């Protein structure tokens, strides 16, 4: 497919603003049932904060807002994000920080349990998202997870979107459909509304089909369908095949980068989004945005964890050079 270049987007000082649920992440480091595991690590994870860390590692100014419990997991969330250079506003709540427990039942088979009902993260409200923070942002990024958490989190999402639209702040949406949080019909209606208000949308193939209510299978058709709903930039993530995008009336295709071994696929989509948005903030064209996005996704699957080992810009360049994939 022919690739076209788009005009550069000027960098603005507000950087990336995102908000949502960040969890304490307990990971078993050996393969087998959880009851036989004796080696565990404790980290953090969450779609929006993974993207925040990835973008910050690439040099973008990033702000994250969310609610966490007054517990050890909440302490860890705040410390880790601040250590990554993410401007962090972690509202302390009387409820608990979400916990995600992940183990490999067998090689290549990941099992995840969430302990989140009634959590601090689900109690996010419009009051937690200052209008001034949205107005100062260069991009507002959110995912389809947040409006699925609770009625108040959904209200917070729409408060942020409405404020951004009123002040000409571009809105980025990663569909991130989670079947454990809501049924398909409810999700489709809400996600369609979000995509229609977005300037930038990211979706996997099945997520795009859900939003469009269409059995269309080709990434090109899905990208065109999403763009027709309103976003000027529609990116369909196709995993090991790379991505296809419609950006300002031009079609793009970028192949995935080969990796010697896939270690952990969790968080790869968030890393992809981080790469795209960080490059957009720098004023890069569509080709470079997608190239960096695919590189970030490839790096993410080659290391363990949701966001802890995502690369700096220098490390990403070394990774690309080592793979002889610079073009």
- Supply the CATH number for residue 63's domain: 3.40.1190.20
Q: For residue 245, what is the DSSP state? A: E
pLDDT at 291: 95
The number of CA neighbours under 13 Å toward the Cβ of 248 is: 10
> Tokens at residue 292, please?
């960096």
| Within a domain: 327 | no
pLDDT at 107: 66
Would you call 270 a catalytic residue per the annotation? yes
Residues 270, 285, 306, 324: which is the catalytic one?
270
| Within a domain: 326 | no
Q: Which of 243, 241, 245 is nearest to 225 (CA)?
A: 245
Query: How many separate domains does the chain show?
Result: 1
- Residue 99, domain extent: 16-321
| Within a domain: 314 | yes
| Within a domain: 151 | yes
| Within a domain: 233 | yes
| 181 contacts 116 by C-beta, under 8 angstroms | no
The pLDDT tens digits for 176-213 are: 999 999 999 999 999 999 999 999 999 999 999 999 99
CA 66 – CA 3 distance, rounded (Å): 38
CA 325 – CA 322 distance, rounded (Å): 8
Three-state secondary structure string covering 99-161 = EEEEEEEECCEEEEEEECCCCCHHHCCHHHCCHHHHHHCCEEEEECCHHHHCHHHHHHHHHHH
Residues of the chain with pLDDT under 70: 1-13, 36, 107-108, 304-306, 323-327
pLDDT at 167: 97
pLDDT at 304: 67
| Within a domain: 11 | no
The pLDDT tens digits for 19-62 are: 999 999 888 777 777 776 777 888 899 999 999 999 999 999 99
């Amino acid at each position: 497919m022919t690739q076209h270049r788009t005009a550069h987007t000027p960098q603005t000082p507000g950087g990336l603003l995102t908000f949502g649920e960040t969890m304490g992440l307990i990971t078993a480091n050996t393969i087998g049932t959880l009851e036989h595991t004796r080696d565990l690590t404790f980290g953090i994870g969450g779609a929006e904060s993974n993207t925040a860390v990835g973008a910050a590692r690439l040099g973008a100014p990033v702000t994250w807002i969310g609610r966490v419990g007054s517990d050890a997991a909440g302490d860890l969330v705040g410390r880790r994000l601040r250590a990554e250079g993410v401007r962090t506003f972690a509202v302390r709540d009387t409820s608990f920080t979400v916990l995600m427990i992940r183990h490999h039942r067998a090689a290549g088979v990941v099992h995840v349990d969430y302990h989140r009902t009634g959590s601090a993260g689900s109690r996010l409200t419009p009051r937690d998202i200052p209008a001034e923070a949205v107005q100062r942002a260069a991009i507002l990024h959110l995912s389809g997870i947040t409006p699925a958490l609770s009625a108040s989190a959904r209200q917070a999402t729409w408060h942020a979107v409405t404020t951004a639209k009123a002040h000409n702040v571009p809105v980025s949406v990663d569909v991130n459909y989670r079947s454990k949080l809501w049924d398909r019909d409810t999700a489709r209606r809400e996600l369609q509304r979000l995509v229609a208000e977005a300037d930038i949308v990211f979706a996997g193939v099945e997520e795009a089909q859900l939003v469009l209510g269409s059995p269309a299978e080709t990434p090109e058709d899905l990208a065109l369908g999403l763009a027709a709903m309103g976003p000027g930039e529609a990116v369909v993530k196709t995993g090991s095949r790379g991505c296809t995008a419609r950006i300002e009336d031009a079609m793009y295709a970028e192949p995935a980068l080969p990796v010697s071994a896939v270690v952990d696929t969790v968080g790869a989509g968030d890393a992809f989004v981080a790469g795209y948005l960080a490059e957009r903030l720098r004023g890069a064209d569509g080709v470079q945005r997608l190239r960096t996005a695919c590189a970030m996704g490839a790096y993410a699957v080659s290391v363990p964890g949701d966001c802890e080992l995502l690369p700096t810009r220098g490390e990403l360049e070394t990774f690309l050079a080592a793979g002889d994939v610079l073009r």
